[in-house]
Structure 1
Amino acid sequence: MLTQSAKDGFDTLLMQSLKTGMAPSGTPVEVSVLADDAGIPEKKMVVLTVSSYLFRLMAMFYFTPDAATRAHFARINNIAEAEMSEQTFMDAIAESGNLCCGILNRDLGNFFPHIGMSTPNVIDSNCAAYLQTLNCQHVRHFAVDMDGSPRFHVTLSVSAYADIDFAVSAEELGSDTGELELF
């Protein structure tokens, strides 16, 4: 149901959103594709869903609640690490996932009408073992590397409810996080 061009398009748009949303402005981010999820060590994940009438996309942002991860999200949010409560830390991680999926949602809007996005949910990373029960037509695992930060991992899964074919060009890639729209 998903053409190779559509799979590449979902991958490209997610990779671009990770480069924009996972690091402080101006920090170089390298996103690479992993062969499988065997090397993903993180213990928790933030899960978000982007859906339309034609597909359901899940993005799973893995993390370990340790000092290095806390320092990264404190830096992104311009908060002193010592001032981050456990709730502030979890909110920062969820907001980073929300930002990435918001960028992805916006960019997918160039191809699909009527797209919606869920709120972030933090769950145990062992839940990813049940991903195959969703009958996904496309699953891809990514590693996200930034200077001075731990390596993060992200899994993309897409379930299609119709034939989907689209191609992403440089013009469709968002270069920033956008501005807040008021309705």
Structure 2
Amino acid sequence: MFSHAALENIYTLFEQSIQANAVALPSDVCVIERIALPDANGRPGHAVVLNISSYLFRIIALFDFEADATTGAHLALRGRSATPVLEGQALVDVLGELVNMICGSVNRSLCAAFRHAAMSTPFVLERHCARYINEVAPTAQQTFVITLNDSVRFGLTLSLCAAAGSDIDFRLAPAPVQEAVAGELEFF
């Protein structure tokens, strides 16, 4: 069973990682909303899945990306591609890389509390497969809608599964406060 604090900490880790990894430019605006489970309605797109697991839990991160020119252009810019709009296998490769970066950051943070946390490689499913996520019988589930610059949208559904009889509770370490230093020059 996940404690309320553990769930909030996991959700916060994903939100922080999305803020850090999904933007293409420092001026990009990234808005993350927590919502009820969405319905893809048969729209074209890609479902990219990655698992983070330990002896005590499994987190299934299912990312739902639109297959449109706006998403392809944002990811081309983010990936510093020479192609102005990614599509086909190039788009799928960059989606996998983005998912890997987001989940890798979360996994590193979780390793501070759970020494044996590891993650899978991202894999792509047909988008309609997302409707079967409840078949894993999650202990908890949360969906996020991420909007970048009011034009690019993607979803993330987290399905958290606790091992039988396990109580999962942890706190995030406070972010280190960096001292603002100006006008000093250090010689080596």
The alpha-carbon deviation at position 67 of structure 1 amounts to 1.0
Question: Which amino acid is 2:18 matched to?
Answer: L
Distance change >3 Å, CA 31–CA 148, structure 1 → 2 = closer
**How many residues are paired up?**
172
1:91 equivalent in structure 2 = 93
The alpha-carbon deviation at position 43 of structure 1 amounts to 3.2
Q: Which runs of 5+ in 1 are unaligned?
A: 173-183
1:34 equivalent in structure 2 = 35
The alpha-carbon deviation at position 80 of structure 1 amounts to 3.1
Distance change >3 Å, CA 34–CA 148, structure 1 → 2 = closer
- Which residue, out of 111, 120, 123, partners 2:122? 120
Question: Which amino acid is 1:13 matched to?
Answer: L
- 1:92-171 aligned at under 5 Å gives the runs 92-147=94-149, 149-161=151-163, 162-171=166-175
Contact kept in structure 1, 2:77 and 2:84, CA below 8 Å: no
**TM-score normalised by the chain length of structure 2:** 0.83
**Aligned-CA RMSD value:** 2.0
CA distance, structure 2, for counterparts of residue 42 and residue 104 of structure 1: 28
Distance change >3 Å, CA 88–CA 117, structure 1 → 2 = same
Question: Which amino acid is 1:170 matched to?
Answer: P
CA distance, structure 2, for counterparts of residue 83 and residue 70 of structure 1: 5
- Which structure has greater helix proportion? 1
Residues 33-68 of structure 1, C-alpha deviations (whole Å, 9 max, x = no match): 012223775632110011111100011111122211
**TM-score normalised by the chain length of structure 1:** 0.86
Q: Which runs of 5+ in 2 are unaligned?
A: 177-188
Flag the structure with larger Rg.
2
SS in 2 for 1:170: coil
1:177 equivalent in structure 2 = none
Aligned-pair identity (%): 33
Residues 133-162 of structure 1, C-alpha deviations (whole Å, 9 max, x = no match): 111111100011111641111111110111
